[in-house]
């Protein structure tokens, strides 16, 4: 009786027989919902209300099971990226949607609706439906075990809670670690919370292993209850980071770890910042690496890491590339797994300044895009990536008594405050002492993706502060390294465990994702300027190489590593430096190439008011030619123009720029070389007499630019 299907009216009740998210979502597309959403997806606000309404009205079974959070997920997530047109942008930018790329029921529900325009996709969905029907058939025959579970729990709930429920469905988790029971409460005023209150006794009655629970939560309406029963304690187990390093998107969420039912949990960070609390030894560093892994895999995320603790959180993501430990088959340089690493106060300050500049510039530069998309949320895509600032022990920076460090803290808060719409978000970690941080209004409001790693620590862990409004979380429920609690706006705070990520996995991910990382969009890159473009310069990364990596635990190169790191450093003074210089140079070239290949706005036809040839000293020429350059570079170009026929030299330009931009002679030499190459400038004279003349002033007819 338990798993019958009453087809024609109302909700389908046979979800126990193996509905996947696809069928759930498909029934959405097969209805009027598809039509409605097609329009709605492009016309924002009523869209998500409708989507949620339709999904709710659907009352589809899986839906039934997952709706608990899916409903909310739809609402919030749809609100955040459907309303913001982010999703459509993303869908268009990422090209054909694949089922695997769409990570959740909610995603697919919305995704199908919006993409139903695409006939091909719709056809694919029909095939999926046919397949699912077949699967249902097979599953019906497998339902004996489910029936047994249903009978057992009807008895148990009767025994323990004195409530006689009718089990509507049983779904065994694909992870094999438990099952969910969907039951109807008897008429007469029984509520799901009565069952929830008896969780411990139910677990004992069911003889569940330690760490496993039977937790009741509201069903699809108030007369229904869902009981999740875990039968395997996955928090205790060590699970390594899944080895599928396939692409991810910020919009479909980045998996951070898994729940007690072994299902992964994702962080949605388009608008949210994150806060991670974990005392030493709780597995915080490991979690940070898992998070960086997810960001590295994402096609629309650039990760900037601040770690004043000698950069140790970021180094494993940089050094393998920097040291040339990894090679791609075709000999192209491997990009580091993170886009920028600041290990010193100054570099961190530079990074935060750049972040602020980028946020402001994006606001101005993308006004047209925002207006067109009718949104104030910048549509993030691989072309306009989100910047994720990961600040290890950032909470400690915010709470620091040191004036200098506090300045850094203020900058962090500024970024959090101004950059949400413009696609810069932060992940802060904290060792503890969260009081001062959680009392900060900005953090409270903007950082709602939260993790508390307990790892057995019970001291100073105030879960009610971290997860306000959630009850019954006890630190002693997760006494394992890497385990704790995670809550997001989409998923209520509950037990969580991070995957263990091993150093060789980090290396594999760097290699696997090297050609997947986005590059900073032109508008942002211009605002970021040389401070960003030169972030891998030798003088700024010397500290990374100075510090002998503790990473190669695999014992590959640094075999004699021992503990005397300084000895190791002394042994090989010059040689690694050159190899690394080389690596750095390749990094730089790659970045330069990226900027260099940006479309040149100064095309002969596009000039408009500016005559493409012989424009003399006119400002629009200046503007056009400097369009993709930094302010310093533009200033240098202006100086070159101003120098007229006489021309000028690198030293003179550098002297003039030093105060305002801190530009070095070497940098200017680089620009001049580039300008000679592209014909902007002409080099005259030799050796110490060499000077550079802007081509507007250089009328000597037959002097080809040297290269
Ligand atoms: N998710 C996990 N699963 C299993 N074991 C883990 C996990 N996370 C961490 N560990 C174990 O705990 C040890 C410490 O982890 P980690 O270095 O990340 O802790 P930490 O909190 O950053 O400590 P510290 O601040 O002292 O570095 C690891 O070496 C590993 O053995």
Q: Name the band, by pLDDT with cuts 50, 70 and 90, for residue 146.
A: confident
Domain(s) labelled CATH 1.10.10.10 in the chain stretch across 619-694
Nearest to 50 by CA among 23, 24, 32, 30: 32
Q: What mean pLDDT comes out for the span 621-644?
A: 66
With 50 as the cut, is the pLDDT of residue 100 above it?
no
HEC letters along 185-238: CCCCCCCHHHHHCCHHHHHHHCCCCCCCCEEEEECCCCCEEEEEEECCCCCCCC
- Quote the pLDDT of residue 359: 96
Give Cβ neighbours of residue 378 (< 8 Å, ≥ 6 apart): 362, 366, 369, 370, 384, 421, 422, 423
- Quote the pLDDT of residue 433: 56
Tokens of 90: 């993303």
Which backbone phi and psi does 631 adopt, to 5 degrees? -55, -40
- Quote the pLDDT of residue 509: 95
Dihedral sign, Cα of residue 146, residue 149, residue 155, residue 157 = negative
Q: Name the band, by pLDDT with cuts 50, 70 and 90, for residue 424.
A: very high
What ipTM was assigned to the predicted interfaces of this complex? 0.97
With 60 as the cut, is the pLDDT of residue 90 above it?
no
Encode pLDDT of 48-74 as tens digits. Answer: 333 333 333 332 333 333 333 333 333
Which residue's structure tokens are 């110490």? Answer: 688
Which DSSP symbol is given to 425?
A: E
Give Cβ neighbours of residue 136 (< 8 Å, ≥ 6 apart): 14, 17, 18, 19
Greatest mean pLDDT among 79-88, 201-210, 350-359, 460-469 lies in: 350-359
Mutation to probe ligand 1, out of 456, 482, 497 (largest number of atoms < 8 A from CB): 482
Of 115-119, 289-293, 414-418, the poorest mean pLDDT is in 115-119
pTM: 0.59
Which CATH number is 619-694's, of 1.10.10.10, 1.20.140.10, 3.40.50.920, 1.10.357.10?
1.10.10.10
- Quote the pLDDT of residue 139: 61
Greatest mean pLDDT among 21-30, 584-593, 684-693 lies in: 684-693
For residue 508, the Cα-to-chain-centroid distance in whole angstroms is: 19
Nearest to 452 by CA among 443, 461, 444: 461
Nearest to 22 by CA among 136, 172, 120: 136
- Quote the pLDDT of residue 275: 95
Distance, in Å, from the CA atom of 214 to the CA atom of 232, rounded to the nearest integer, reads 12
Which DSSP symbol is given to 290?
A: H
The residue that leads in pLDDT, 314 or 679, is 314
Q: How confident is the prediction for the chain on average, in pLDDT? A: 72
**Angstrom distances, CA of residue 100 to CA of 104, 196, 510, 589:** 9, 34, 22, 35
Q: What mean pLDDT comes out for the span 237-243?
A: 92
544: left (phi over 0), alpha (psi -120 to 50) or beta: alpha
- Quote the pLDDT of residue 169: 85
Q: Name the band, by pLDDT with cuts 50, 70 and 90, for residue 520.
A: very high
Give 331 Cα–ligand 1 centroid separation in angstroms.
35
Q: What mean pLDDT comes out for the span 159-167?
A: 93
Which DSSP symbol is given to 548?
A: -
Nearest to 317 by CA among 509, 539, 499, 500: 509
Distance, in Å, from the CA atom of 452 to the CA atom of 429, rounded to the nearest integer, reads 10
- Quote the pLDDT of residue 451: 95
Encode pLDDT of 6-20 as tens digits. Answer: 333 333 333 333 333
Please tell me if the CB atom of residue 278 comes closer than 6 angstroms to any atom of ligand 1.
yes
Residues making up the annotated binding site for ATP are 278-285
Give 371 Cα–ligand 1 centroid separation in angstroms.
46
Residue 694 pairs in a beta bridge with: 681
- Quote the pLDDT of residue 234: 83
Give me the architecture of the 269-449+499-546 domain, per CATH: 3-Layer(aba) Sandwich (3.40)
Give 210 Cα–ligand 1 centroid separation in angstroms.
22
With 80 as the cut, is the pLDDT of residue 608 above it?
no
**Domain spanning 143-230 has what CATH number?**
3.30.980.40
With 50 as the cut, is the pLDDT of residue 631 above it?
yes
- Quote the pLDDT of residue 654: 87
Domain(s) labelled CATH 3.30.980.40 in the chain stretch across 143-230
**Angstrom distances, CA of residue 701 to CA of 33, 465, 681, 697, 705:** 69, 74, 14, 11, 11
Mutation to probe ligand 1, out of 481, 550, 553 (largest number of atoms < 8 A from CB): 481
- Quote the pLDDT of residue 300: 95
The residue that leads in pLDDT, 437 or 503, is 503
Q: What is the largest CA-CA distance in the chain?
A: 101
Residues in the chain: 707
With 70 as the cut, is the pLDDT of residue 550 above it?
no
Q: What mean pLDDT comes out for the span 185-192?
A: 90
Distance, in Å, from the CA atom of 630 to the CA atom of 702, rounded to the nearest integer, reads 31
CB 340 within 8 A of CB 367: no
Encode pLDDT of 277-291 as tens digits. Answer: 998 889 999 999 999
Please tell me if the CB atom of residue 290 comes closer than 6 angstroms to any atom of ligand 1.
no
The residue that leads in pLDDT, 318 or 583, is 318
- Quote the pLDDT of residue 629: 62
Which residue's structure tokens are 């094999």? Answer: 176
Q: What mean pLDDT comes out for the span 454-483?
A: 79
Q: Name the band, by pLDDT with cuts 50, 70 and 90, for residue 676.
A: confident
Mutation to probe ligand 1, out of 285, 454, 506 (largest number of atoms < 8 A from CB): 285
Domain(s) labelled CATH 3.40.50 in the chain stretch across 269-449+499-546
For residue 498, which atom of ligand 1 is closest to its CA?
1
Distance, in Å, from the CA atom of 223 to the CA atom of 184, rounded to the nearest integer, reads 6
Please tell me if the CB atom of residue 432 comes closer than 6 angstroms to any atom of ligand 1.
no
With 50 as the cut, is the pLDDT of residue 40 above it?
no
Q: What mean pLDDT comes out for the span 135-164?
A: 82
- Quote the pLDDT of residue 60: 30
- Quote the pLDDT of residue 43: 33
Q: In this prediction, what percent of the chain has a pLDDT beyond 90?
A: 33
**Angle, to 10 degrees, between the axis of helix 32-42 and the axis of helix 46-58?**
160
Give 483 Cα–ligand 1 centroid separation in angstroms.
10
Please tell me if the CB atom of residue 286 comes closer than 6 angstroms to any atom of ligand 1.
yes
Please tell me if the CB atom of residue 498 comes closer than 6 angstroms to any atom of ligand 1.
yes
- Quote the pLDDT of residue 665: 85
**Angstrom distances, CA of residue 653 to CA of 622, 625, 644, 686:** 16, 17, 13, 18
């Amino acid at each position: 009786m338990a798993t019958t299907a009453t087809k024609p009216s109302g909700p389908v009740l046979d979800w126990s027989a193996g509905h996947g998210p696809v069928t759930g979502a498909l029934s959405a597309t097969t209805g009027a919902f598809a039509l409605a959403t097609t329009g709605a997806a492009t016309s924002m606000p009523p869209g998500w209300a409708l989507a949620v309404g339709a999904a709710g009205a659907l009352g589809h079974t899986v839906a039934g099971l997952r709706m608990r959070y899916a409903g909310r997920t739809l609402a919030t997530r749809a609100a955040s990226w459907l309303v913001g047109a982010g999703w459509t942008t993303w869908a268009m930018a990422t090209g054909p949607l694949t089922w695997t790329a769409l990570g959740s029921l909610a995603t697919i529900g919305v995704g199908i609706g919006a993409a139903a325009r695409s006939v091909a996709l719709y056809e694919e969905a029909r095939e999926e439906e046919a397949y699912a029907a077949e699967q249902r058939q097979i599953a019906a025959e497998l339902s004996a075990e489910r029936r047994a579970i249903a009978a057992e729990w009807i008895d148990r709930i009767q025994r323990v809670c004195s409530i006689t429920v009718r089990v509507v469905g049983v779904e065994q988790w694909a992870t094999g670690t438990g099952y969910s029971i969907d039951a109807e409460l008897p008429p007469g005023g029984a509520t799901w919370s009565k069952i929830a209150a008896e969780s411990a006794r139910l677990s004992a009655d069911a003889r569940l292993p330690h760490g496993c629970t039977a937790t009741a939560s509201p069903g699809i309406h108030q007369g229904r209850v869902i009981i999740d029963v875990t039968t395997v304690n996955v928090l205790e187990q060590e699970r390594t980071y899944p080895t599928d390093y396939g692409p991810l998107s910020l919009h479909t969420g980045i998996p951070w770890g898994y729940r007690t039912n072994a299902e992964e949990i994702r962080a949605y960070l388009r608008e949210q910042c994150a806060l991670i609390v974990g005392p030493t030894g709780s597995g915080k560093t490991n979690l940070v690496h898992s998070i960086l892994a997810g960001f590295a895999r994402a096609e629309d995320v650039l990760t900037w890491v601040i770690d004043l603790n000698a950069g140790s959180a970021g180094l494993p993501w940089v050094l393998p590339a920097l040291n040339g430990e990894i090679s791609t088959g075709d000999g192209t340089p491997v990009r580091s797994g993170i886009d920028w690493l600041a290990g010193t106060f100054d570099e961190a300050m530079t990074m935060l300044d750049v972040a602020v500049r980028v946020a402001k510039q994006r606001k101005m530069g993308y006004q047209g895009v925002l207006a067109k998309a009718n949104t104030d949320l910048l549509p993030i895509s691989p072309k306009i990536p989100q910047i994720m600032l990961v600040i290890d022990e950032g909470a400690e920076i915010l709470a620091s008594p040191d004036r200098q460090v506090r300045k850094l803290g203020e900058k962090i808060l500024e970024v959090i405050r101004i950059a949400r719409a413009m696609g810069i978000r932060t992940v802060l970690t904290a060792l503890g002492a969260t009081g001062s941080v959680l009392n900060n209004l900005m953090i409270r409001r903007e950082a709602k993706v939260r993790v508390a790693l307990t790892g057995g620590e019970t001291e100073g862990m105030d879960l009610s502060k971290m997860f306000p409004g959630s009850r019954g979380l006890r630190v002693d429920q997760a006494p394992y390294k890497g385990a704790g609690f995670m809550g997001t706006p989409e998923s209520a705070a509950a037990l969580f465990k991070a995957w263990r990520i091993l150093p060789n996995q980090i290396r594999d991910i760097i290699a696997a994702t090297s050609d997947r990382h986005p590059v900073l969009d032109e508008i942002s890159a211009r605002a970021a300027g040389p401070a960003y473009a030169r972030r891998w310069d030798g003088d700024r990364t010397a500290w990374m190489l100075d510090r002998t990596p503790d990473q190669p635990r695999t014992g590959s190169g640094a075999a004699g590593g021992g503990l005397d790191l300084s000895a190791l450093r002394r042994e090989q003074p010059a040689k690694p430096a050159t190899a690394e210089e080389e690596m750095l140079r390749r990094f730089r070239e790659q970045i330069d190439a990226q900027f260099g290949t940006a479309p040149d706005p100064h095309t002969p036809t596009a000039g408009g008011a500016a005559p493409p040839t012989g424009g003399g000293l006119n400002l629009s020429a200046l503007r056009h030619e400097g369009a993709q350059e930094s302010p310093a570079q533009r200033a240098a170009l202006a100086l070159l123009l101003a120098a007229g026929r006489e021309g000028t030299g690198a030293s003179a330009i550098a002297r003039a720029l030093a105060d305002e931009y801190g530009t070095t002679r070497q940098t200017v030499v680089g620009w001049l070389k580039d300008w000679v190459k592209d014909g902007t400038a002409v080099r005259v004279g030799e050796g110490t007499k060499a000077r550079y003349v802007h081509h507007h002033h250089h009328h000597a007819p037959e002097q080809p630019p040297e290269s």
